[in-house]
Structure 1
Amino acid sequence: MMTILINPIKKTFTVMMLCFFTCSLSGCWGSKELSNMALVMATGIDLTDEDKVKLSIQVFIPRAASSQQQGAGPGMGGAESLVLVKSATGENMADAMINLQKLFTRQIFWGHCDAYIIGEKLARKGDLNDQIDFINRHPDPRARADLFISKGPAADLLGLIPSLESYMGDVLQKSSELNFKKPITVKDFQVMTVSDSKGGILPVLEISKPDQPKKATETITKFSGVAIFNGDKMVGTINEDVTQGLLWVRNQNKVSAITGATPSGKKISVHPLRQSTKLIPKIEKGKWSITVDLTVDSLLVQNGSNLDIMNPSSTKHAETYLKRAVERDIKASFTEVRSGMSTDAFGIAESFHKEYPEEWKKVKDQWQYFFPHVKVNVNAHIKVREPGLMTKTLGTIKRGD
């Protein structure tokens, strides 16, 4: 008899709960309608001469996108009017955002913003994390968005009209994916600045003119290396060539080709297929050293030498020439960063902390000054695993190359 009574009670309770949740979900109170939002695609943050924060946003124009789908040309909702850029200043990002909102009839929405560009002037000031704090605390911005440094004002980059992509936010995202194994996000940067090394890196973008511009005002965005940070203060930049060596150490390189030269000056190029970097710390008789152990499996993409890549002996020669090129780049990056900036942008402090915790405690507060004296060894293993679509090089094969 009890069973007969319990089942109807359970059934009634279930129906009541379903009705309650259905009613609570049926309304649209507090929801954000797309037609009431201004979607931010990319953001620029600059420092004004009055020490104010200038916040610039690139906002998507839905009407322009609709016209583009219908085949409208420039001036009728074409590519040139797909987005608009607005700027406002304030005491900080939050204050600038309030002033920026006054320029829009729609609610500014940050959830679609994939890229934040920091102006070089603001980055060199040294309180970048104070501004990034807004991105972390506000419920809309994404801490997984990519972060960049601009040579000159960030607002200038947002105003450019891309040749291939629809808007600058898309250009920035693709540029990061092309140059880095893993794009550096807002969250990644903050992790770097509070790590043992306190050394951070961010990609640097600059405006340049194409070789054959169609218009006098036509410009392009170019990746020109990385900015080096000590904590949240930018202390310098390194060019694209030196950057490759640093990215090898951080296991972040996405270079499309490695080129080595034979003793006679002939060039050999390979495309990296897989890569991994290990940092091996060592303390012996009070002397600190770090070994950068890099392994790259590659595909031969161009052979300008007379080496027969199908011959194991010739392959080893080719790998030696490639190895020297990579080791040279890595050593050059250590030399420039340590001599000019005294900042551990390579993240080797974490390796010593993990392997030698007691010794690390003694130097952690002076690591910035101790780091330049750590001996660096580089051991690159460049393996040519595939010869490409050709097994022989056209011309005569000479063993001596």
Structure 2
Amino acid sequence: MRKRVLALLFMGIVIVLTGCWNRNELTDLAFVVGMAIDNSDDQIEVSIQVVEPQQINAKGGSTRIPAIMYKSKADTLAEALRKMMTVCPRKPYVSHLRVLAIGESLARVGIADTLDYISRDHEFRNDFSIIIAKGGKGADVLSILTALEPIPSNSLFDTLRVSSREWAPTTTITLDELITDLVSQGKNPVLSGIERTGDLKVGRSLDNLESTTPNGNVRLVGLAVFQKDKLVGWLDEADSKGYNYIEGNVKRTIGNVTCADGGQISFEVLNTKSNMKGVIKNGEPQIDIRLLVEQNVAEVKCQVDLMKLETIEGLQERSNKQLKELIQHTIHEVQAKYQSDIFGFGEVIHRNDPKGWQQIKDNWQELFTKLSVNVEVETKTRLTGTTSNSLVEELKKKK
């Protein structure tokens, strides 16, 4: 009897494990690499960019664009994506999504509903980049063709990745990072902005690839500031750089320092480390920021002797001063204009003094605008190049 029961149990397990109830054939799927979400007539308009594998693998080149856009509108994002199958011949598969572009008008209304659905759907991964289409629609920035990367969504993804690594005013924000900032106590999110330039109609066509100066293009344009889930404004290039220095996001970039006798020296930033501490003294919150920067001399356009230690020390002091002023300007700009703690100062206080945070959290937005922030910057110059003096200044002496 016991053996018979075990045999029946084993057969039941085998039957349950056999086959895949949720199986999808590759030929039935449309692989989505880019998605845009916009407002349209009080509805949600969803645009998906689907890869066309036959054109990517075509031998001898192809005269067709290797990606296609599909659009649908509905009252909710979930409904719009399901409705997409009335125009798309295959089921959209979003696990390979690389970029989500959100139109500015929708971002100003709020993105919580959008993120709620995306975070719940098991097919969405959490490692794709999210950007805001400044002054326009997300669908437009996804449709511009570029020569180096034939699929627009891949081009945007690569531009974000390279720019955030080499140019300080930009940064990449993924879904999980954005949700973490939204639900954290004492921190509001930022997202990179992107702007379409030139002729949209030409940018969408193969004609855009047949010129050394394309008529349509896209460019990164600073950071979008949020108050909870709503877009409230934009940081310019300088303040976006200041934000990333505060957050320790700067990996490599170029910074200019004014020489004592005029002219400039450019430094290549190699590495940065930012440390923030928050305390509450006599009922008043206070933040201390300490920034460490390693840099090399990149370009010299003034008369200095880089072989002298006092010269290097003087330039480092100027670097410290300019970076400190940049960071302070960014903080004051956000405090005065947007009253949104995008730096996570409240989160730092919450982490360092949980009891103290409970006493001030309800009034944090008001306290943030008056918050005292102490900034300390230390730069270290590693290399000065293969020549000691400016080539430009040496040539002037020959005249």
State the TM-score, normalized to the length of structure 1. Answer: 0.86
Please name the residue that 1:218 is paired with. Answer: 215
Unaligned 5+ segments in structure 1 are: 1-8
Please name the residue that 2:202 is paired with. Answer: none
Please name the residue that 1:4 is paired with. Answer: none
1:361 aligns with 2:358: yes
1:193-223 Cα shifts (integer Å, max 9, x gaps): 111224110000001239xx83997211111
Please name the residue that 2:52 is paired with. Answer: 61
SS of 1:257's equivalent?
Answer: strand
Q: 1:171 to 1:216 in 2, by over 3 A?
A: closer
Among 163, 185, 188, the alignment partner of 2:174 is: 185
SS of 2:339's equivalent?
Answer: coil
1:253 aligns with 2:242: no
Q: 1:350 to 1:24 in 2, by over 3 A?
A: closer
Please name the residue that 1:141 is paired with. Answer: 124
SS of 2:102's equivalent?
Answer: strand
Please name the residue that 2:231 is paired with. Answer: 234
Alpha-carbon distance, 1:89 to partner: 0.6
2:144–2:217 CA contact under 8 A, matched in 1: yes
Pairing of 1:21-32 with structure 2 (within 5 A): 30-32=22-24
| Separation (CA, whole Å) in 1 of partners of 2:262 and 2:85 | 60
| Separation (CA, whole Å) in 2 of partners of 1:241 and 1:100 | 41
2:172–2:192 CA contact under 8 A, matched in 1: no
1:342 aligns with 2:339: yes
2:187–2:345 CA contact under 8 A, matched in 1: no
Alpha-carbon distance, 1:332 to partner: 1.5
Please name the residue that 1:156 is paired with. Answer: 140
1:300–1:388 CA contact under 8 A, matched in 2: yes
SS of 2:82's equivalent?
Answer: helix
| Separation (CA, whole Å) in 2 of partners of 1:138 and 1:358 | 36
| Separation (CA, whole Å) in 2 of partners of 1:320 and 1:266 | 16
| Separation (CA, whole Å) in 2 of partners of 1:372 and 1:37 | 50
| Separation (CA, whole Å) in 2 of partners of 1:302 and 1:215 | 29
1:260–1:324 CA contact under 8 A, matched in 2: no
Q: 1:28 to 1:167 in 2, by over 3 A?
A: same
Greater Cα offset, 170-179 or 278-287: 278-287
1:108-156 Cα shifts (integer Å, max 9, x gaps): 1001111101110110002x12111121111211122111100211111
Alpha-carbon distance, 1:98 to partner: 1.3
Among 27, 30, 54, the alignment partner of 1:38 is: 30
| Separation (CA, whole Å) in 2 of partners of 1:289 and 1:264 | 38
Greater Cα offset, 363-372 or 379-388: 379-388
1:373 aligns with 2:370: yes
Among 137, 159, 169, the alignment partner of 1:175 is: 159
| Separation (CA, whole Å) in 1 of partners of 2:90 and 2:214 | 31
Please name the residue that 1:199 is paired with. Answer: 188
Pairing of 1:283-302 with structure 2 (within 5 A): 283-302=280-299
| Separation (CA, whole Å) in 1 of partners of 2:17 and 2:375 | 63
1:204–1:226 CA contact under 8 A, matched in 2: yes
Please name the residue that 1:5 is paired with. Answer: none
Pairing of 1:270-285 with structure 2 (within 5 A): 270-285=267-282
Please name the residue that 1:165 is paired with. Answer: 149
| Separation (CA, whole Å) in 1 of partners of 2:43 and 2:187 | 26
Among 78, 103, 111, the alignment partner of 1:94 is: 78
Please name the residue that 1:52 is paired with. Answer: 43
- Structure 2 letter corresponding to 1:92: T
Alpha-carbon distance, 1:355 to partner: 2.2
Among 316, 321, 326, the alignment partner of 1:319 is: 316
Please name the residue that 1:269 is paired with. Answer: 266
Alpha-carbon distance, 1:73 to partner: 4.2
| Separation (CA, whole Å) in 2 of partners of 1:263 and 1:288 | 38
SS of 1:258's equivalent?
Answer: strand
1:330 aligns with 2:313: no
2:38–2:137 CA contact under 8 A, matched in 1: yes
- Structure 1 letter corresponding to 2:139: A
1:244–1:255 CA contact under 8 A, matched in 2: no
Please name the residue that 2:168 is paired with. Answer: none
| Separation (CA, whole Å) in 2 of partners of 1:268 and 1:288 | 38
Alpha-carbon distance, 1:326 to partner: 1.4
Greater Cα offset, 382-391 or 52-61: 382-391
1:165-217 Cα shifts (integer Å, max 9, x gaps): 1212112212222333562101111111111224110000001239xx83997
State the TM-score, normalized to the length of structure 2. Answer: 0.86
Alpha-carbon distance, 1:29 to partner: 5.8
Alpha-carbon distance, 1:330 to partner: 0.9
Please name the residue that 2:61 is paired with. Answer: 72
Greater Cα offset, 132-141 or 147-156: 132-141
SS of 2:248's equivalent?
Answer: coil
| Separation (CA, whole Å) in 1 of partners of 2:271 and 2:213 | 42
Alpha-carbon distance, 1:230 to partner: 1.1
SS of 2:382's equivalent?
Answer: strand
| Separation (CA, whole Å) in 2 of partners of 1:22 and 1:261 | 76
1:201–1:227 CA contact under 8 A, matched in 2: yes
| Separation (CA, whole Å) in 2 of partners of 1:247 and 1:55 | 31
- Structure 1 letter corresponding to 2:223: V
